[in-house]
A and B are shown apart, each in its own frame.
Chain A
Amino acid sequence: MEFFIDRDPFLKVLTRIQTVVERRNTMPVLGNALLEVCDGILTVSATDLEVAVRTVTEVEGVVDGALTVGARVLFDVVKELPPKALRLRKEGERLLLTCDRARFDLATLPAAQFPEIPKPEGEFRMVIARHQLATMLEKTHFAMSTDETRYVLNGVFVQVTAGAEPELPGRIRLVATDTHRMSMVEQPLEYPLPDGREVILPKKTVYEIRRMLEEDERDPELIISAGHVQLIKPDLSLISQVVQGRFPDWRRVVPTGNMVRLTAIREALHQVVKRISTLSHEKTLGVRLIIQENRMRILSVSPEQQEAEEEMGVVYDGNVKLDIGFNARYLREILIAMTGDTVQFALKDDESPVLIYDPESGEALFVLMPMRV
C-alpha cells in the first residue's frame, strides 16, 4: 500500500475518528484505524464494536492495499506536521510516513484482524433533514440517563411513523428520560414514509450523530435494520448498534390532570434560576419556586445557610399559593432546549409531575418531577 495525501484533509479525517476509537484496549486492533486504498480512494475506519465510522477521501494512490495503525499515534504525528503532502507506504509490517525530511516508522496490525464493519443494508431507508434531526436531538439529548445499569435509558428513543395517508408526510418523534425528567419532541417529516420504525440510539452514537450533523449542511440518509442504525453522507458513514430493550412508554408519565397554568418569559426565568442556583446545594441543586397571584419568588439556601431570593412577574391562574422545588440544572436544561419567548408550566401540586412546554408550539413536551428542597 502506498499513497500521497495533503496534511489538512488527512488531519480532518483522523480528527473525525478519534472519538470512536476504543480506549479501553480490550483488543489491540480496536485502538487502530483501518486504512484502505483502492483506485485513488482512501477509506479510514474506526470502531469500538458498538459504533463505527468510515470516511472516504480522494488520494493519489500508488499501490492499493490495506493495514491498521494506531489511531491516536497517527493523529498525534499528523497534527504536528506542516501543511504539505504526506507520503504513506507499507514496508513489511511497518507503515512509513514521510513529509519533507520528517520520517515516521509506525507499527501496524494486519487489516484482516480488524472487525468487519457491517455494510449499509436494511429494508428501512429515509432521508432526513439535517437541521431537523439536529434540532430534535438538541431538545432531547440532555435528558438521557448516564447510569449504565439502566441501559434502555442510556440513549434517545427515535420513532418514525408513516403519514395517515400514503401521500402525507410521516412523523418523527424523539424521547429521552432519566426518570427525573423527560423530553419528547415530535415533528412532521418533509417526505411521505411508507411505514414506521422504532430504535434506541446509544448515548455515544447520539454524540457522534450530533458531531456529524454539525460538520456540513448536507441531509444524511438514515438506515434502520434489525440490530443497527446507520447515518450516511457521501464521504462519511456512521454505523451503530442499537440499544436492545423496550423504551418505556412516554405517554404514561405525561400528566393530564394538571389544571393550573403558570406562564413566564423564558429567558428571564432562565437567568433568574441561573443566578439563584449559585447558592443551591451543589449536589442536589434545589431551588424553590413560590408562586402566588402572578408573582413568583425563586429561592435557594446553601448548606451554610446562605440565602438567595429573587422575584419575577408571571401569569398564574391558580387560586392557592404553590411552593414547589426543582433541580435547577434540570430546569435550566429544559429552558435552554426551548426556543419560544414564553414558557408555560402545567402544575398540580408540589409532588406531581409538571408539564413544561412552549404555549406557541406543541412540538416539544418536557415533564419534570419536583424535588423536596
Chain B
Amino acid sequence: MISGQKILDFGLDPVFTLESLIVGPSNRLAHAAVLGLMEAPVSCLMLIGASGCGKTHLLHAAVGRQRRLFGAESAAFLDPAGLASAVADGGEQALSDFLLRWRGQVLVAVDNLERLQGGAEALQEGLLFLFNHLRAAGGRLLIASRYSPTQLEWLRPDLRSRLLWGSVMEIAAPDDMELEAILIKLAADRQVRLGSELIKYLCARLPRRIADLAEALERLDRAGMAQKRPLTVPLAKEILGL
C-alpha cells in the first residue's frame, strides 16, 4: 500500500566523532594516520576513497578532536561547496581575506576535493597558498578526495605536487563485518534500530558499497515513516524490491 501521508523532514544529524567511527581493516591505516597527523613529519594528509567510505567522518572527527584539545580556533573544516564564493575573483584582496580567515588554524580539513573542478582556479590558488602557509608555519592540511591527485587532471601541477609531498592513505572497500557495522552506524545516525535479521538480509543483497547501503536505508526509513511500519525484512523486500 502506498501511503499518501507526507512526513516531517527532521534532516540528518550524524555523529562524527572518533568514538562513533567504525575502524576496521579498510580504514585502519587512514584512521591511524589521522590520529597521528599532528605529530607526523608531513604537512598534508590526503584520504582517498569512494563516496561514503567515511572520509567526511574522519575529517570531522579530526577537527573535533583538535578543537577539543586546543580550542575552537585551532582547526577548521572546509568544503569547496561553501568556499566557491570566498575567493571568487582571485583578486589580491579576496585571496588575502581567504588566507587571513584560515591561516590561524593549526589543522585545516578540506572535504570533497574532487568537487573543486571547474571554474575554481582562484580557490585552487587559495588552497595552494594555504598549503604554503601551513607548511611554513608547521600546521597541517587534511584533505579528503574521491580520487588521488594523480587522477584529478584539472589540478594545478604545483598544488598536485604539494599534495603528493605529504601522506596519502587509501580507504579500501569495507569487508563484510565492517559493512554490517557501518549499516548499524548509519541506522544509529537515523536513530532507528535494525534487527539482526534485517541487517543480515540487507548486507547479503545490497551492493557492497556504503553509498548504496546508505541510500537503501534512507528509502527504507522514509517508507517506514510514511507507512508507520517498523523496519523489517518484509518491508525491505517490498520497498527495495530485493
Using a CB–CB distance below 8 Å, which chain A residues touch chain B? 145-153, 177-182, 245-246, 248-249, 252-253, 283-284, 286, 325, 327, 351, 353, 367, 369-373
**Would A180 and B231 count as touching, CB distance under 8 A?**
no
Residue in A149, A252, A283, A286 whose beta carbon sits within 8 Å of that of B11 in the complex: A252
With A179-B225, A180-B228, A246-B13: A150-B192 Cβ-Cβ less than 8 Å: yes
**Would B228 and A149 count as touching, CB distance under 8 A?**
no
**Would B8 and A179 count as touching, CB distance under 8 A?**
yes
**Would B194 and A180 count as touching, CB distance under 8 A?**
no
Distance A201 CA – B93 CA, assembled complex (angstroms): 54
**Would B191 and A351 count as touching, CB distance under 8 A?**
no
**Would B5 and A369 count as touching, CB distance under 8 A?**
yes
Distance A181 CA – B8 CA, assembled complex (angstroms): 7
Distance A184 CA – B222 CA, assembled complex (angstroms): 22
B 6-46 to A, binary, CB cutoff 8 A, 1 in contact else 0: 11111101010000000000000000000000000000000
**Would A371 and B231 count as touching, CB distance under 8 A?**
no
**Of all chain B residues, which has the CB nearest A255?**
B8
Using a CB–CB distance below 8 Å, which chain B residues touch chain A? 1, 3-11, 13, 15, 191-195, 224-225, 228-232
Nearest Cβ on chain A to B117's Cβ, whole angstroms: 32
**Would A148 and B193 count as touching, CB distance under 8 A?**
yes
Distance A286 CA – B5 CA, assembled complex (angstroms): 9
**Would B7 and A150 count as touching, CB distance under 8 A?**
no
With A180-B228, A249-B13, A283-B1: A149-B194 Cβ-Cβ less than 8 Å: yes
**Would B5 and A371 count as touching, CB distance under 8 A?**
yes
**Would A325 and B230 count as touching, CB distance under 8 A?**
no
Distance A149 CA – B230 CA, assembled complex (angstroms): 6
With A149-B224, A149-B231, A151-B191: A182-B13 Cβ-Cβ less than 8 Å: no
**Would B191 and A245 count as touching, CB distance under 8 A?**
yes
**Would B8 and A367 count as touching, CB distance under 8 A?**
yes
With A147-B229, A149-B231, A151-B191: A252-B224 Cβ-Cβ less than 8 Å: no
**Would A325 and B4 count as touching, CB distance under 8 A?**
yes
Beyond A149-B231, A248-B13, 6 extra complex contacts between A and B, CB < 8 Å? A150-B224, A180-B6, A180-B8, A246-B13, A284-B4, A369-B7
Distance A288 CA – B11 CA, assembled complex (angstroms): 28
Nearest Cβ on chain A to B88's Cβ, whole angstroms: 29
**Of all chain A residues, which has the CB nearest B6?**
A369
A-B contact pairs, 13 of them (CB 8 A): A145-B228, A148-B230, A149-B192, A149-B232, A151-B193, A179-B8, A179-B225, A249-B11, A253-B8, A283-B1, A353-B8, A370-B6, A372-B6
User: Hey, which chain A residues are within 8 Å of B191, CB to CB?
Assistant: 150-153, 245-246, 248
Task: Identify the 5 closest CB pairs spanning chains A and B, nearest first.
Answer: A372-B4, A248-B10, A369-B6, A371-B5, A149-B230
**Would A284 and B5 count as touching, CB distance under 8 A?**
yes
Distance A245 CA – B187 CA, assembled complex (angstroms): 12
Nearest Cβ on chain B to A189's Cβ, whole angstroms: 27
Nearest Cβ on chain A to B10's Cβ, whole angstroms: 4
Nearest Cβ on chain A to B110's Cβ, whole angstroms: 27
Distance A182 CA – B225 CA, assembled complex (angstroms): 13
Distance A371 CA – B195 CA, assembled complex (angstroms): 29
**Of all chain B residues, which has the CB nearest A147?**
B230
Nearest Cβ on chain A to B159's Cβ, whole angstroms: 38
**Would B4 and A177 count as touching, CB distance under 8 A?**
no
User: Hey, which chain B residues are within 8 Å of A152, CB to CB?
Assistant: 191
Distance A253 CA – B8 CA, assembled complex (angstroms): 6
**Would B10 and A351 count as touching, CB distance under 8 A?**
no
User: Hey, which chain A residues are within 8 Å of B1, CB to CB?
Assistant: 283
**Of all chain A residues, which has the CB nearest B225?**
A179
Nearest Cβ on chain A to B202's Cβ, whole angstroms: 13
**Of all chain B residues, which has the CB nearest A367?**
B8
**Of all chain A residues, which has the CB nearest B187?**
A149
Among B8, B225, B229, the one with the most A-chain Cβ atoms within 10 Å of its Cβ is: B8
Nearest Cβ on chain B to A29's Cβ, whole angstroms: 27
With A246-B13, A248-B10, A252-B11: A149-B193 Cβ-Cβ less than 8 Å: yes
**Would A182 and B8 count as touching, CB distance under 8 A?**
yes
Among B10, B13, B228, B232, the one with the most A-chain Cβ atoms within 10 Å of its Cβ is: B10
Distance A372 CA – B9 CA, assembled complex (angstroms): 17
User: Hey, which chain A residues are within 8 Å of B3, CB to CB?
Assistant: 284, 371
